[in-house]
Structure 1
Amino acid sequence: MNNNVVVGMGEALWDVLPEGKKIGGAPANFAYHVSQFGLPSCVVSAVGDDALGDEILENLTSKGLKQLIEKVPYPTGTVQVEIDQAGVPQYEIKENVAWDNIPWTTSLETLAKKTKAVCFGSLAQRNVVSRETINRFLDTMPRDEDTLVVFDVNLRQGFYNKEILCKSMEHCNILKINDEELVTVSRMFGYPGIDLQDKCWILLGKYNLKMLILTCGINGSYVFTPGNVSFLPTPRVEVADTVGAGDSFTAAFISCVLKGMPVAEAHRRAVATSAFVCTCNGAMPVLPDEYTK
């Protein structure tokens, strides 16, 4: 695998939706969309030695997605997804599954040394095994001025705590968070009473971040950089479902930044990409060329 790889690291699973199962998990969604922007990407996770695990590996391979996914003696992860009337998913995430137990391997160490950007979340750190592997990967990556370490907060079912969030924010230089998560994090960190933008400026400064991305669903999105903020409204589209829309936003934004685009242009591309994904069923549609060129 070539140098300057963009890695999505964490959960690999099946989203079991009302109409059937679809491959899911933020890391695979992220890595898949990065690859559509023409950058070398890889998904890091673990699956079980079972039919569901084999199917994930075959599915990702068929999409041309490079992967470093170990087979471990735990069942492949599944999530029951119910879609409400507004198209918003509700999740029930099974515990003690393969992606909770991502092992540290020499292959993973080699990949870490070739990684230009990584995206990881809080959900995959709910179990100590995967949490330690993620932290080891982050510690092994080369850290130069252009390396991007993206912490995409993913607060689900109480699978997080203040210690995990603090350590992750200390490790990252780009934080991505949505408005609901920001309220929860602010309450945990002890500054609940100020407006959302002020909370973002506090986090940007406290953790010395390059950027903070705040998504507010239909109410638009912000990218904070030291001394500047970009805001864009959310396009009005016919929503099929919102599964994976946030991951496509992150992937498009990071890909464009790595290609040298200004933050405002990367933000515009991210908003357009995410809106397109909302018009499709599932998290991994093929993006039209005008989004990725």
Structure 2
Amino acid sequence: MSLVTTKGMLLDARKRGYAVGAFNANNLEMAQGIVMAAEKENAPVIVQVSQGGAEHGGLEEMAAIIRSLAAKASVPVALHLDHGVDFVYNIRCLRAGFTSLMYDGSKLEFAENVRITREVVKAAHAVGVPVEAELGRVPKDPTGITLEDLKEYMTKPEEAVAFVEQTNVDSLAIAVGNMHKMKIKEAKIDIERIKAIRERVAVPLVLHGASGVPDEAVVAAIQAGICKINVHTQLNKSFTEGIHEVFNADPKTVDVRKYLGKAREALMEEVRAKIRLFGASGKAPGVPEVPVEPEAYIQQDIVE
């Protein structure tokens, strides 16, 4: 199965009431583990590469790895840019063959976020690639963040409506109490806010920072309207725990394949668990394939 865009995946998730897992990969083994997990669960999957991940592994190199895995996969696989913070980097990813982009202008004033997002959308849609944007602010470091801070950061439903209308984005990442880089599940998610935004906004909604969200809150968020869930920190934890297991068993081990093989297996099992939690297991057969072609992309009623 060839690489596909996220458009069909997310519309199908919205229609059938589940969420597609979007998992960050920083190297070959992480990307392999993610795709292997999706195949075992027969689920659509989004393999994400952040700007930091691309700088570590190489933008073109990471794109080539994931495209190669997708070509051999038995389930739909999309290659997504996670948190592209400028216009130029989004275009670089477009040229590298990414099938989904994210422009994150959440730190900007509303008007400036709209302006740049609109430009990214215009360029991506010209070649059939969907775009995710972010409104509100999801803190990237939970240290020192108070509940009052989080309330101030949260996405306002009325602003979400205006933002989507003015940018024509395909999906919207919202701030509802979620935070990045949380190592324990303590995030307090505003489910009613998700419902309020879902009632007003037609595009699929995205939840970032899911590693710190309790499982019951994840399920409630999906029921409220979340269609894509990002996971990164938890994958890093599982991956490195696999390495520690090999080292602790025999600190003299020098075969790097033993470390990375165990790490890949641990990550794969973590991804499988997340896919099941998101309700995506077994959903691959019903997902419409939307290739990177403008003519196919502009069909707005793919699954509606």
TM over 0.5: no
> TM-score, normalised on structure 1?
0.36
Higher RCO (C-alpha under 8 Å, 6+ residues apart) = 2
